[in-house]
Amino acid sequence: MKNNIYRSAAQVTAFSTVEKALSFVYRIILTRIIGAEGIGIYQICLTVFAVFLTVASSGVPVTVSRLMAKSNAKNDLNGKHSAVTAGVVCTLAITVPIALILFIGRNAFGFLFSDERCVQIFIILLPGLVITSVYAVIRGSFWGNKQFLPYSVIELLEDALMVGAGIWLIWGVTDPLEGARNATIAVLISYVFSFVASLFWYFKKGGKFVNPKKQLKPLISSAAPITAMRTATSLLNSTVSVLMPALLISACGYGNSEALATYGVVMGMAVPLLFAPSALIGSIAVVVAPELSENYYRKREKAVRYDVEKTVKASMFIATVLIPILFVLGNAVSVFLFDNEFCGELVQRCSFIVLPLCVAMITNTVLNSMNCEKRTLLYFCIGAGAMIISVLFLTRYLGVYSYGLGLALSNIICATLNLRLLRKKCPGINYIKYALHSILVIVASCLFGWLFNGIISNYVAPGWQILICTPLILGFTIGMLYCLEMVSANPFKKLFARKSK
């Protein structure tokens, strides 16, 4: 069974890595063609859209997956179909009225955006609110059935279609507003594809819609706290998208275009680099969550403890490997990809956020799989409060770095409280020694990379810096991890081992 987990995690990670690489390349192309201002408009629209999408469906896919795992533990096939149907009913009941209200009253919702030009672009995304919420439920059914290959393929094709359509639509565009609008149309096209493809596969594999009454109450009870937390996340991002440009103008003396461009650099360039590990964390979460839920409901305490400890350590490992690269090569990567030195400065100074970010993300998933949604919501709200305070009161003194500080405080608070709760839920899990060793390796690798890069940066271009330094930093980091017995070859042996007959 553990071999299957390794294979599934590797499969999802491989597809997700390609998908994120496509998105990243697309982000570079967008930046080059429509500029920082266009990216700022595009990002604001997607951020506000994410708030409504989160309200409608964010907690449902995870809950559908968990209810299906619970039904698996009871061998209840009808319960699985009922969970999916309940999810679709709930999301449609929310998204259809929201979409209609936003469309009819579009002229009254300009206050949602820091730039009025965003309203006409946002309206393009409204049909996607309904169809994407349904796709999210079907995606949750894939997780619950452990059908990771179709999920991965659909996600990759969705992203590839968005990239292809987006490049075709923005090519030759010079106006930032037109570029942002055309890029948004490409997003809607990709939503339609994933909706159609997921429904086709669901019904092809025997899925059906049945009476949802059996699962409505448990779905709503479990999904509500998760939805509230993720809605709060989207609201937080949306609030920052309004506050940050406004504060840069009022407190720091920026012009409107300059403030939007600066916000575009932060959210459209630096943050995607800092959140790069989320693809790997998401892959682990997708595979582990159904298995963890099923073990939890079957009361397999030893298996639950094993899954939790290995998952937390995996998130720390990912952060340990990536932080030195971001710290040392953040500027080179930003100049090479975006031709923007300010982005590189942001990435380097904020790179250490990645460790608490990875731990907070994975522990949220683990705790939600163990029916702790209300506690994770409370912890998130505490962290979000720290974020808002930082942006409101420190932007005057720190500029956009107030967001970086707020992001760090928010994730440190969430990660610390989540780990504390996990120790109560799973007595005996051991991660403290691993965490301390991770910090030691990060510091040593950053110092090694910084010294080496300082020597060669005066002689080679950014592209060559990346090619030369990346394997050396990785090799040094992995070597230290191996010496401290924090990594072994066993998972790779299991990954490629033949299935027992």
Q: What is the DSSP code (8-state) at residue 208? A: -
Q: Which two tokens stand for residue 381?
A: 């709200």
What's the whole-number mean pLDDT along residues 254-261? 85
The arithmetic mean of pLDDT across residues 339-359, rounded, is 93
Q: What percent of the chain has pLDDT over 90?
A: 32
- Position with higher pLDDT, 110 vs 40: 40
Write down the pLDDT at residue 495.
Answer: 47
Please report which confidence band the pLDDT of residue 499 belongs to, taking 50, 70 and 90 as the band edges.
very low
> Which residue, 221, 227, 244, 229, is CA-closest to 382?
229
Q: Which amino acid is at 272?
A: P
Mean pLDDT of the region 480-485: 89
Residue keyed to tokens 């201002």: 37
Lowest-confidence pick of 21-25, 55-59, 373-377: 55-59
Cα distances (Å, whole numbers) of residue 77 to 30, 60, 220, 498: 46, 19, 20, 30
CA distances from residue 215 to 138, 194, 309 in whole angstroms, order as listed? 15, 25, 31
pLDDT computed for residue 405 by the predictor? 95
pLDDT in tens, 407-463: 999 999 999 999 999 998 888 888 899 999 999 999 999 999 999 998 898 888 888
Asked if 219 contacts 367 with a C-beta cutoff of 8 angstroms, the reply is no
Q: Which helix (H) or strand (E) holds 227?
A: helix 213-250
Helices (H) and strands (E) in the chain, counts: 19, 0
User: 141-162, pLDDT tens digit by residue?
Assistant: 888 787 888 888 998 999 999 9
Q: What's residue 377's pLDDT? A: 84
Question: Within a 13 Å sphere around the CA of 181, how many CA atoms are in the beta-carbon half?
Answer: 12
Tell me the pLDDT band of 348, cut-offs 50, 70 and 90.
very high
| Amino acid letter, residue 366 | V
Task: Pick from 42-46, 202-206, 216-220, 264-268 the range whose average pLDDT is largest.
Answer: 202-206
Across the chain, mean pLDDT equals 85
Q: Which of 47, 57, 127 is nearest to 88 (CA)?
A: 57
pTM, to two decimals: 0.72
For 177-199, what is the mean pLDDT? 91
In the chain the first and final C-alpha atoms are separated, in Å, by 12
Question: What pLDDT is attached to residue 4?
Answer: 58
Given CA atoms 236, 242, 247, 248 in this order, what sign does their dihedral have?
Answer: positive
Q: Quick count: other Cβ atoms within 10 Å of Cβ 105?
A: 9
The CA distance from 467 to 73, in Å, is 49
pLDDT for res 81 = 86
pLDDT at 297 over 80: no
**How many angstroms separate the CA atoms of 440 and 474, rounded?**
15
